[in-house]
Amino acid sequence: MLATMTLVGLAVLAVLVMVFLKMRRTDHLTAMMDKRRASSTLVTRADYVEGREQIPVALSLTPDTIYYENPDMEASFELSRIDEIEYSDDLATGRDVHGCRVLRLRSHGAAFEFLLDKKDCDKWMAALPPHTYGDQSTAARAV
Protein backbone atom coordinates (compact mmCIF):
# COMPACT_ATOMS: atom_id res chain seq x y z
CA MET A 1 0.00 0.00 0.00
CA LEU A 2 2.82 2.41 0.88
CA ALA A 3 4.60 1.65 -2.41
CA THR A 4 1.43 2.43 -4.37
CA MET A 5 0.96 5.74 -2.57
CA THR A 6 4.61 6.63 -3.21
CA LEU A 7 4.27 5.90 -6.95
CA VAL A 8 1.07 7.93 -7.19
CA GLY A 9 2.73 10.79 -5.31
CA LEU A 10 5.74 10.74 -7.65
CA ALA A 11 3.47 10.73 -10.71
CA VAL A 12 1.51 13.71 -9.39
CA LEU A 13 4.75 15.53 -8.61
CA ALA A 14 6.05 14.90 -12.13
CA VAL A 15 2.84 16.28 -13.67
CA LEU A 16 2.98 19.37 -11.45
CA VAL A 17 6.60 20.03 -12.43
CA MET A 18 5.72 19.74 -16.13
CA VAL A 19 2.78 22.15 -15.73
CA PHE A 20 4.99 24.60 -13.83
CA LEU A 21 7.69 24.51 -16.51
CA LYS A 22 5.14 25.03 -19.31
CA MET A 23 3.59 28.01 -17.50
CA ARG A 24 7.03 29.48 -16.85
CA ARG A 25 7.94 29.17 -20.55
CA THR A 26 4.71 30.99 -21.43
CA ASP A 27 5.66 33.79 -19.03
CA HIS A 28 9.09 34.06 -20.67
CA LEU A 29 7.54 34.23 -24.15
CA THR A 30 5.21 37.00 -23.03
CA ALA A 31 8.17 38.97 -21.65
CA MET A 32 10.10 38.49 -24.90
CA MET A 33 7.11 39.63 -26.93
CA ASP A 34 6.72 42.73 -24.76
CA LYS A 35 10.41 43.55 -25.23
CA ARG A 36 10.14 43.27 -29.05
CA ARG A 37 6.83 45.16 -29.36
CA ALA A 38 8.43 48.64 -29.22
CA SER A 39 10.74 48.05 -32.21
CA SER A 40 8.58 45.68 -34.28
CA THR A 41 5.82 46.07 -36.81
CA LEU A 42 4.18 42.81 -35.73
CA VAL A 43 4.68 40.44 -32.77
CA THR A 44 2.80 37.15 -32.25
CA ARG A 45 3.19 33.71 -30.76
CA ALA A 46 4.01 30.85 -33.11
CA ASP A 47 5.36 27.33 -33.10
CA TYR A 48 8.60 26.76 -35.00
CA VAL A 49 8.37 23.34 -36.63
CA GLU A 50 11.56 21.28 -36.68
CA GLY A 51 10.81 17.77 -37.94
CA ARG A 52 8.01 16.44 -35.73
CA GLU A 53 8.82 18.87 -32.92
CA GLN A 54 6.87 22.11 -32.39
CA ILE A 55 8.82 24.73 -30.44
CA PRO A 56 6.87 27.71 -29.02
CA VAL A 57 8.46 31.00 -30.07
CA ALA A 58 7.82 34.74 -30.08
CA LEU A 59 7.73 35.71 -33.77
CA SER A 60 8.35 39.37 -34.61
CA LEU A 61 8.79 41.46 -37.74
CA THR A 62 10.89 44.61 -38.02
CA PRO A 63 11.41 46.60 -41.23
CA ASP A 64 14.38 44.42 -42.23
CA THR A 65 14.33 41.27 -40.06
CA ILE A 66 12.12 38.45 -38.77
CA TYR A 67 13.01 37.27 -35.25
CA TYR A 68 11.93 34.00 -33.67
CA GLU A 69 13.00 33.34 -30.13
CA ASN A 70 12.23 31.65 -26.86
CA PRO A 71 14.20 31.23 -23.63
CA ASP A 72 16.39 28.56 -25.27
CA MET A 73 16.85 30.06 -28.74
CA GLU A 74 17.40 33.41 -30.45
CA ALA A 75 17.32 33.37 -34.25
CA SER A 76 16.50 35.73 -37.09
CA PHE A 77 16.24 36.15 -40.86
CA GLU A 78 17.13 39.26 -42.78
CA LEU A 79 14.26 39.88 -45.18
CA SER A 80 16.74 40.44 -48.00
CA ARG A 81 17.96 36.84 -47.61
CA ILE A 82 14.51 35.22 -47.83
CA ASP A 83 13.86 33.79 -51.29
CA GLU A 84 10.21 32.87 -50.84
CA ILE A 85 7.36 33.52 -48.39
CA GLU A 86 4.40 31.16 -48.50
CA TYR A 87 1.27 30.61 -46.41
CA SER A 88 -0.32 27.16 -46.37
CA ASP A 89 -2.79 24.89 -44.61
CA ASP A 90 -0.31 22.03 -44.26
CA LEU A 91 3.36 21.49 -43.56
CA ALA A 92 5.91 20.74 -46.29
CA THR A 93 5.80 17.11 -45.13
CA GLY A 94 2.07 17.02 -45.96
CA ARG A 95 1.00 16.83 -42.33
CA ASP A 96 -2.22 18.76 -41.63
CA VAL A 97 -2.13 21.53 -39.02
CA HIS A 98 -5.63 21.50 -37.55
CA GLY A 99 -6.91 25.02 -36.87
CA CYS A 100 -3.64 26.75 -37.79
CA ARG A 101 -1.88 28.18 -40.82
CA VAL A 102 1.73 27.67 -41.82
CA LEU A 103 4.13 30.52 -42.57
CA ARG A 104 6.89 28.96 -44.68
CA LEU A 105 10.09 30.88 -45.37
CA ARG A 106 12.62 29.59 -47.89
CA SER A 107 16.19 30.80 -47.85
CA HIS A 108 19.02 29.31 -49.90
CA GLY A 109 17.18 26.02 -50.42
CA ALA A 110 16.13 25.51 -46.79
CA ALA A 111 12.53 25.82 -45.59
CA PHE A 112 11.57 27.15 -42.16
CA GLU A 113 7.99 26.66 -40.99
CA PHE A 114 5.98 28.43 -38.31
CA LEU A 115 2.48 27.52 -37.13
CA LEU A 116 0.25 30.54 -36.57
CA ASP A 117 -3.31 31.01 -35.37
CA LYS A 118 -5.55 31.91 -38.30
CA LYS A 119 -6.18 35.46 -37.02
CA ASP A 120 -2.43 36.00 -36.52
CA CYS A 121 -1.77 34.58 -39.97
CA ASP A 122 -4.04 37.23 -41.50
CA LYS A 123 -1.94 39.91 -39.78
CA TRP A 124 1.27 38.33 -41.09
CA MET A 125 -0.12 38.10 -44.63
CA ALA A 126 -0.97 41.81 -44.53
CA ALA A 127 2.46 42.77 -43.16
CA LEU A 128 4.52 40.24 -45.14
CA PRO A 129 2.70 39.15 -48.30
CA PRO A 130 3.64 35.92 -50.06
CA HIS A 131 6.23 36.19 -52.79
CA THR A 132 8.48 33.93 -54.80
CA TYR A 133 12.12 34.11 -55.77
CA GLY A 134 12.90 37.13 -57.91
CA ASP A 135 9.91 39.10 -56.62
CA GLN A 136 11.66 40.67 -53.59
CA SER A 137 10.02 44.06 -54.22
CA THR A 138 6.68 42.78 -52.84
CA ALA A 139 8.22 41.97 -49.46
CA ALA A 140 10.12 45.24 -49.31
CA ARG A 141 6.95 47.29 -50.00
CA ALA A 142 4.93 45.47 -47.34
CA VAL A 143 7.10 46.38 -44.36
Q: How many domains does the chain have?
A: 1
Phi and psi angles of residue 19, each rounded to the nearest 5 degrees, phi first:
-65, -45
Q: Please, which pLDDT band fits residue 139 given cuts at 50, 70 and 90?
A: very low
CA distances for 138 relative to 24, 79, 120, angstroms: 38, 11, 20
Give the per-residue pLDDT at 19: 67
The CATH number of whichever domain residue 94 belongs to comes to: 2.30.29.30
- Provide the domain limits for residue 115: 2-142
Residue 142: exposed, middle, or buried by beta-carbon count in 10 A (0-12, 13-18, 19+)?
Answer: middle
- The predicted-structure confidence for 76-103, as pLDDT tens digits, reads as follows 989 999 999 999 988 888 777 787 899 9
Model pTM above 0.85: no
- The predicted-structure confidence for 26-55, as pLDDT tens digits, reads as follows 567 888 888 888 899 999 999 999 888 999
